Amino acid sequence: MGSVNEKAKQFWSGEGGDFWVENQRELDITLEPLGEATLKNIDLSSCDSVLDIGCGTGRTTIDIAERLAAHGKATGLDISEPMLEQAKILAQAEGVENVRFECVDAQVESLGDTRFDAAFSRFGVMFFEDPMQAFSNIHRALREDAPLSFVCWQSPMVNPWHFLAMEVVTEFIDIPKPPPRSPSPFAFQEREYVEEILVTANFREIEITPFEMKIPWFDGKDPNQAAASYLSINPIISEGLAALDNEGKEKILARLSDLFSSHQTDGRIVFDSATWIVAAIK
């Protein structure tokens, strides 16, 4: 039997992490407004230490660090070594010194001796094999009355950026559906499940608020380039694509390009999105 979260570690330190590093700028543009809406639940000006869970390439951790009280520090955790290396490069390039990045699995590993004033995550908490264990670990790392705030996707069916593209993909490639609640971008689509996790981990004053907004995807790319990028996001899609002949590859690329063209607004590819913004107190 492999170690805990081994598949996630392999993916995010391999193809998944490499893709995010290569596409860091455009992905941050897509997700930035959703992260900003989530940060409104935390008074960063009163915090000396903030934990950023699943920080990826570090944009959120750096932004948090720049808003902290004097001498405050932001700590970004992730299991992706290539993404953390990119985070360190980004922080150094921007001259932000009150950050640290650590390759730590928040489900099972120690989060250090620091008791954080707040914890935050932008789409970084849906991939744990045992989320109840993970959030119990996060709970232990917070000081009393510290806030937790994170954002996660609602159902794929209310996120057309995903389900419309997957409708196209599955016409050509057989994509297995993950079991409900298994580690995936949509693991936390059920509001009741999220609440159950947090209650079990002893969080209180839990608020789970629906948040909908239009977001840009594949910034700076035309629909054909965007279609190629979409086909690179998911390794299962990439594997299925490799098995197609050239005609099949051209057809799926053309269909996705048409989809993205139909969602262009002022030269940007824009889709509706639906998330949960989750807030709780230790």
Q: Which residue is associated with the tokens 């998944």?
A: 16
pLDDT value at residue 32 = 97
Q: For a pLDDT cut of 90, what percent of the chain falls above it?
A: 82
pLDDT value at residue 113 = 86
pLDDT 10s digits, 210-238:
999 999 999 999 999 999 999 887 777 88
pLDDT at 154 over 80: yes
What is the rounded distance in angstroms from the CA atom of residue 194 to the CA atom of residue 132?
10
Q: What is the mean pLDDT of the chain?
A: 93
DSSP for 172-217, written as a single string:
HS--PPPPTTSSSTTTT--HHHHHHHHHHTT-EEEEEEEEEEEEEE
pLDDT class for 179, splitting at 50, 70, 90?
Answer: very high
pLDDT at 1 over 60: no
227: which 2 tokens?
């279609």
pLDDT at 157 over 50: yes
Give the burial string for 260-274 (b: 16+ CB within 10 Å, else e). Answer: beebeeeebbebebb
- Alpha helices by DSSP H, listed for the chain, are 6-12, 15-22, 24-39, 59-65, 81-93, 131-140, 160-172, 191-200, 223-233, 235-242, 246-261
71: which 2 tokens?
């001498």
pLDDT 10s digits, 121-142:
999 999 999 999 999 999 999 9
User: What is the arithmetic mean of pLDDT over 199-217?
Assistant: 98
pLDDT at 279 over 50: yes
First to last CA, the chain: 34
pLDDT at 13 over 80: no
pLDDT class for 269, splitting at 50, 70, 90?
Answer: very high
pLDDT at 184 over 50: yes
Q: Which domains does the chain have, with CATH numbers?
A: 6-159+177-217+274-281 (3.40.50.150)
What is the rounded distance in angstroms from the CA atom of residue 122 to the CA atom of residue 40?
13
pLDDT value at residue 2 = 47
pLDDT at 15 over 80: no
What is the rounded distance in angstroms from the CA atom of residue 112 to the CA atom of residue 116?
10
- The answer to whether residues 52 and 116 touch, using CB atoms and an 8 Å cutoff, is no
